[in-house]
Structure 1
Amino acid sequence: MEFAALRDEMVDSLEHDTKAVVEAHPTGRAMRAVPRHEFVDEEHRAYTDQSFRHRDTAILSPSMAGRLLSALAPEAGDDVLVVGVGVGYTAAVLAEIVGGEHVHAVDIDRRLVYDARANLASAGYGDVLVDCRDGAEGLPEYAPFDRIVVEAAAVDAPAALLEQLAPGGRLVFPRGSGDQTLVAVEDGETVGVHGPVAFAPLLVDGEQGSAVERNRTVREDHERAVRAAESRGGWEHEWIDWENR
């Protein structure tokens, strides 16, 4: 399969068709270079403009990735933080623009961190740093960042991420809980609104797919039932006692 030709067709459609969501430079050039088939399970559909599911997260469609990066407006040499790395595709495109050593990424789901690392290494971007973190807390030891992009929705910009922006830096994230809008923020002010989007919410620890689910035992269930029965009074309590005789 000739992936380079498929990449060109994909980017041509994003630059020139009715979508027109990608600028030829630098985002379009970077997307022409990144082998998206390294980041999706169905490589024969890797260059169609569609999203996929992987480990309870969404792999962004090329047009959505392009919208994020166009709003972010990264430049060569910028230090960038990706919050919600997913499978790593957006981080790879950023690596083509700013250089892999300038891209840092976090995800709250440990499984996705391992997947993103493997995908990035296979695609030739092993110098991108990917760590397992609560995205709302950012990556303070590598701050400040010239650009931060969040691939999850929040009601407002997380304070820690704003604090980790360099002077004049830009944060792009989907704002809202129900109806969402992609916004760009600089110096605490909204400087760009880039249309409606639909992202999953930014997770807190315990909500990620890799979190350990509490295994409540039969004993606990029984104890809860007994306490609930004993807390009842009047005829209801007498009826329960009568049933247990």
Structure 2
Amino acid sequence: MSDQFFKDESGAVTVDWVVLTAALVGLGIAVLSTVSIGVEDVTGDTVAAMDGDSVIRTSFLRSVTDRFQADAVLAVGSTFRDLEDVQRFSFKMDAQLSAGDNGILWEAGGSVHSTILYQHDGVLYLQSGSSSGVGEAANRGEAVWQVTDGDYTIEGSLDSNTGLALYIDGKLVSQSSYQHSRVAGPNPGGVGGIAGDAPPNRGGFGAGDGHPGVGELSLFIDQTTGDEVGG
């Protein structure tokens, strides 16, 4: 009986499979322990790159005005009156910004109602509403963004009844609430400078103080994103 037991091979494959499976599991655990730290490092680096101002992040983002139909596309140096008596609109401009640059990217309005996008002391400002001063007020909104060197898509959405929103490369960076009768008056606006009366601004910029990195301006009348109510 015992001699037959030792010679019997039934079940041998099962025994071999158990041993082989155990060896594979052990090998897998050893490999996982070795590479897990490296995988975590790569994952962290990827997340940081996509969250930062990198080519990877920018290339996959959409412009917030992509779904809008442009009412005007204005070249650098153009003058325009498209925003006269307008209460709500959006805009888009591709620009090259440097922290050391200053000047007006575009403006419209003048002495009573105005909208202006400009850079001063390393900060990008979008202001709209009453031309009685600068900064946020009940009848004037101001959105700001700290400039870092690079090429950017700058967009804004403005509604004189609720407020304004500023976007950089498709990302909402600043909002401001206010109420005013309109975004601009009858004076002509200018791309890359001032065409009429200079809207108030923190840099005291006037005629001839255009921003060196300005690009063409697209206007979308009566088309907004819904982010204009800020705090």
TM normalised by structure 2 equals 0.31
Structure with greater contact order relative to length (CA < 8 Å, sep ≥ 6): 2
Relative to total residues, which structure has the larger strand share, 1 or 2? 2
| Larger gyration radius, structure 1 or structure 2 | 2
Relative to total residues, which structure has the larger helix share, 1 or 2? 1
